[in-house]
Amino acid sequence: MRVRYVCDRCGHLMSELTVTPQGLKKLGLYQLTEAEREDIIKYDEGAGVMIVSTICDCCLEPETEEIRPGYTVMH
């Protein structure tokens, strides 16, 4: 299965991994509560992709108005 980490604020694809079912356990997502999993993890079953919402470094720093070249800001 592929796992994509995508910024929840700007939509930047931060990372994409291909993992085995055993590898999914190593990501630690099982430690989330059911509500957290529903909020953070989405599935594109047709593409076989798990999408994990996170926040990129640019969006973590609210005082920084700059967006990195090539990023698309999604509102």
For residue 27, CA distances in Å to 20, 52, 67 come to 11, 11, 28
DSSP state of 48: T
| Cβ contacts of 11 within 8 Å, gap of 6 or more | 71, 72, 73, 74
Q: For strands 49-54 and 2-7, give the pairing.
A: parallel
The pLDDT value given to residue 44: 92
Question: Nearest to residue 52, comparing CAs of 69, 72, 36?
Answer: 36
CATH number of the 2-60 domain = 3.30.1490
Domain boundaries, the chain: 2-60
The pLDDT value given to residue 66: 55
pLDDT digits (tens, 9 = 90+) for 10-67: 999 999 999 998 888 888 888 889 999 999 999 999 999 999 999 988 888 765 555 5
